[in-house]
Amino acid sequence: MAQFLAVQFDPLTPKEKILKQLDGVVPPDFNAADEPHALLADLPLPIYLTTNYDDFMVRALKSRYRDARRELCRWNELIKNEPSVFDNGFTPTVANPVVFHLHGHTIPESIVLTEDDYLYFLANIGQERLLPKPIQQVLTRSTCVFIGYRLADWNFRVLFQGLRAYSMAGLSIAVLKPPGDDELARRQREYLDRYYANMKLTVYWGTAREFAIELRERWAKFNKV
C-alpha cells in the first residue's frame, strides 16, 4: 500500500499519513514490569538502535531520568545535512544515551517505508558515512538483540542483512513471534533455527513482552551474583 501511494501521489504521501497516525497513539505504560521499552530503559546501555518511527524509547529512558538524545540514519540525500548529536564530539554514556533511528522518525524524508526505500537503504547501509562511528563500534563489538519482529517482516530481513556489512561481533539474538503451534509450524521453526544459526543468529521464539519478562528475571539474578 505504501509503495502504491508513493507511485500514485508522491513519495512523501504515505510517510505523512504514518506520522499523522502516530500523533494519536497513546504511549505504553513505562511503569509496567513487562513493558519492553521499560525493560530496555532499565539496562545500563549507552546506545539503543530502533527501526520504529515513534519516540517511545526516548520517553522510556527519560522516565528513568536518563537524558536520552535522538539521532537518525542519513540514508538518503534529503537528510544527509541534518544536524547530528555527534557533530561536536558527543560520546553516548549510560546517563546520556543515544536512541539511533535506523529507519527514520518524525522527519518525513527520513522514513524508510516503501519497497523502493528499503531497497535503497539496503544498497547503501554498508557505506561508512551512513552510520556515525559510535554506532559502527557498537555493531562491531557488541551482541545485537532484534526485538519485536515477525518472520515475514521485510523490515527485519533488510535490517539484518544490512547490518551484517558491519561484521556484528559474536552472536546476535532475534526475538520473533512463533508462526504457530502445529506440526508444520514446529518444522518451520526448526528449519529457521538452522538457517539463522549459519548466520550466527539465535532465535528466541516468543513475543517482545515474554522476552522482556524473562530478560528482567535473568538480569536481576545476574546482579545478585
Q: Above pLDDT 70, what percent of the chain?
A: 89
Q: How far apart are the first and last CA of the chain?
A: 51
Q: Which pLDDT value is given to residue 155?
A: 73
Find the range with the poorest average confidence among 86-95, 144-153, 190-199: 144-153
What are 43-52's pLDDT values in tens digits? 999 999 999 9
Cell numbers representing residue 106 in the block: 518524525
DSSP state of 32: S
Confidence bin at 152 (pLDDT 50/70/90): low
pLDDT at res. 128: 63
pLDDT band at 69 (very low <50, low <70, confident <90, very high): very high
Distances (CA, A) of 24 to 20, 21, 36, 65: 7, 6, 20, 25
Q: Which residues pair with 174 in a beta bridge?
A: 146, 203
The strands making up 172-176's β-sheet, listed across from edge to edge, are: 145-149, 172-176, 201-205
18-62 pLDDT, tens per residue? 898 888 889 999 999 889 999 999 999 999 999 999 999 999 999
Query: Whole-angstrom Cα distance, residue 146 to residue 173?
Result: 6
Of all residues in the chain, the percent with pLDDT exceeding 90 is 31
Tell me the mean pLDDT in the region 89-97.
94
- The answer, yes or no, to whether residue 9 has pLDDT greater than 50, is no
pLDDT band at 2 (very low <50, low <70, confident <90, very high): very low
Total domain count, the chain: 1
Q: Which of 5, 1, 3, 24 has its CA nearest to residue 13? A: 5
**Boundaries of domain holding 55:** 2-224
Burial of 31-52, coded b for 16+ CB within 10 Å and e otherwise, reads eeebbbbbbbbbeebebbbbbb
- Bigger pLDDT: 166 or 43? 43
